[in-house]
A = this chain, B = another copy of it.
């Protein structure tokens, strides 16, 4: 399974419009420090699946390679805004899965165009897609929101954003499911008072410690997290990293019982433009 972080920012993105903090000023100068709307893509067996659809170049990206399906975590604009343009396209319908949400976003349901919105997913009911199984799990957010537990038969990836903590039943499921890799919402810096819809970095690290994956990435990061990391030395635990726009990871670990099981696990990464 190959994971690519397309966007790793919160709804304000980095740089945040009008902000002159050190992180925003850095991102204006160095494009590698920019963070676009939070979304990712997963490649399995030659199929491309999109996790959320907030990127502004969604149509261009889908022309280069049409996705087999789009999995939406929820219907906030920063996670679906690319669909406003994509929907008016042509060709085979693109299946779109997501949580049960009566409203969706703006008039997407009313004018779906080339998008084939599927009935709202039932939590913990596995969705079988070509090459991968996706188990939707409820998250704690201000709109109905699902994380996705993806299993290609060899690797298990839990993609968990947007969320503030984890619902008890989701945490229970994840502890039993034992993900190899976790991608988790860590929108706010440590000092953020009263988080309601998103994790702080320490909250995210506690969850990761309990789930004990081999590798974890923090995503949906605000400019304030980047700014804090520029002024305070924060050493993340082994196996935990900040996600970056364009970061591509080949997720591969030796299977239990294989000859290589006792070898150190490995993650192949490459950062690319665009």
A interface residues, Cβ below 8 angstroms from B: 11-13, 15-19, 28, 37, 56-57, 59, 62-63, 66, 76-78, 81, 84-86, 88-91, 105-107, 114
Contacts and interface: CB of A to CB of B under 8 A. Distances in A.
Contacts of A105: 106
B18 A91 contact: yes
Contacts of A81: 77, 81, 84
B106 A17 contact: no
A273 to B, nearest CB: 17
A17 B90 contact: yes
Contacts of A76: 107
A110 to B, nearest CB: 11
A188 to B, nearest CB: 14
23 contacts: A11-B84, A11-B88, A12-B89, A13-B88, A16-B90, A17-B85, A17-B86, A17-B90, A18-B63, A18-B66, A18-B89, A18-B90, A19-B89, A19-B90, A28-B63, A56-B56, A56-B57, A77-B84, A77-B106, A78-B84, A81-B84, A105-B106, A106-B106
Contacts of A17: 59, 62-63, 85-86, 88-90, 114
B84 A18 contact: no
A72 to B, nearest CB: 14
Contacts of A106: 77, 105-106
A63 B34 CA distance: 15
Nearest to A66: B18
B56 A88 contact: no
A198 B47 CA distance: 38
A76 B59 CA distance: 18
B56 A18 contact: no
Given A17-B89, A18-B89, A105-B106, 4 more contacts: A16-B88, A17-B59, A17-B86, A81-B84
A115 B161 CA distance: 26
Given A56-B56, A107-B77, A85 B11 contact: yes
Nearest to A86: B17
Contacts of A91: 18
A56 B85 CA distance: 11
A177 B90 CA distance: 42
